[in-house]
């Protein structure tokens, strides 16, 4: 179905589209938002270039997708509940989100979506990659699908995978507003393959940042199959890559997409404002 109010230009064959013809700082009538939401479901991640909006306008746009959720391990931006600052300073070596993951899957009700609004970007580098988990599931063999479909997995905030816990600790140290440090063992059990509540499509849901093991199995028993799935879901043909500029805004579907923040800009500062949209228990 064509778009009448916005332009939607895919950025890869697998995932992602750049949206034009809209100012997110102004009021969005229902017809315009309906097209944005349709593009969101079709492309999994949307990129809006050069959005010069303030925090209140940013929150107003985010809330069109649903109630804003709390991030459990950092305080909100001063005066703006729901916005978290994601910052890497020039002297930092570790970044936040530097591995394939879906956000906070260790929560009982992980977010529907995540938004980032770029405030400061390095002169080069600091891109974010996105991967399509529908395709990651669809390209598995029928035998693998039959094995995975009924499985549950344990997702934990304490998993030490490629700096998962360390990145959260660093975020707290950088912002000076860390919280819930006594809850780093937060965990939940979710399907290995979840069904998207709006599209009805199946998506691979495990991720190397938070998936510790299959339910009813030990970590050692789970590791070989999880390693295969972690390698599989980041295959280049499932992905796109976005180069940020100040003012750019992105929203992705946390139910069927994963992302990876690249850490290739040492010596430079990068600042993002993040919002997450409250979700429901995966099925």
Domain ranges of the chain: 7-277
Question: For the residues 68-92, what does the mean pLDDT come to?
Answer: 88
Residue 205 Cα to chain centre, angstroms? 12
Is pLDDT at 171 greater than 70 in this prediction?
A: no
CATH code assigned to 7-277: 3.60.130.10
Identify any residues that bridge with 152 across adjacent strands, giving them in sequence order: 191
Annotated active-site positions, please? 101, 103, 259, 274
Most distant pair of Cα atoms in the chain: their distance: 53
Compute the average pLDDT of residues 196-208. 98
Q: Using one digit for the tens of pLDDT, what is the confidence trace for 98-133? A: 999 999 999 999 999 999 999 999 999 999 999 999
Q: Which stretches of the chain are assigned E, i.e. beta strand?
A: 7-10, 17-20, 45-48, 68-69, 84-88, 113-120, 128-132, 152-156, 187-191, 193-195, 202-204, 211-214, 239-242, 249-253, 257-261, 270-277
pLDDT of 163 higher than 50 = no
Which is nearest to 35 in space by CA: 71, 72, 64? 64
What's the whole-number average pLDDT of the chain? 92
């Amino acid at each position: 179905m064509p778009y009448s109010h916005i332009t939607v230009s895919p950025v890869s064959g697998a995932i992602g589209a750049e949206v034009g013809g809209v100012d997110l700082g102004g009021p969005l009538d229902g017809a315009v938002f309906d097209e944005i939401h349709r593009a969101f479901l079709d492309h999994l991640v949307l990129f809006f270039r050069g959005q010069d909006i303030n925090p209140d306008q940013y929150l107003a746009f985010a809330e069109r997708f649903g109630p804003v959720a709390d991030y459990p391990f950092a305080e909100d931006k001063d005066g703006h509940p729901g916005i978290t600052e994601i910052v890497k300073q020039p002297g930092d070596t570790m970044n936040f989100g530097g591995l394939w993951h879906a956000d906070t899957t260790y929560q009982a009700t992980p977010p529907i979506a995540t938004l980032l609004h770029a405030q400061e970007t390095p002169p080069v580098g600091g891109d974010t990659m996105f991967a399509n988990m529908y395709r990651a599931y669809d390209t598995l063999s029928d035998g693998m699908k039959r094995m995975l479909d009924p499985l549950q997995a344990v997702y934990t905030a304490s998993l030490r995978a490629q700096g998962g816990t360390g990145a959260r600790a660093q975020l707290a140290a950088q912002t000076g507003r860390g919280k819930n440090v006594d809850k780093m063992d937060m965990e939940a059990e979710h399907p290995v393959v979840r069904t998207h509540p709006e599209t009805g499509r199946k998506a691979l849901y495990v991720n190397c940042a938070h998936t510790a093991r299959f339910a009813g199995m030990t970590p050692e028993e789970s590791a070989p199959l999880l390693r295969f799935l972690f390698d599989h879901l980041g295959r280049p043909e499932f992905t796109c890559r976005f180069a940020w500029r100040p003012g750019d805004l992105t929203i992705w579907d946390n139910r069927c997409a994963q992302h990876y923040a690249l850490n290739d800009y040492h010596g430079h500062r990068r600042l993002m404002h993040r919002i997450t949209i409250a979700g429901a228990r995966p099925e």
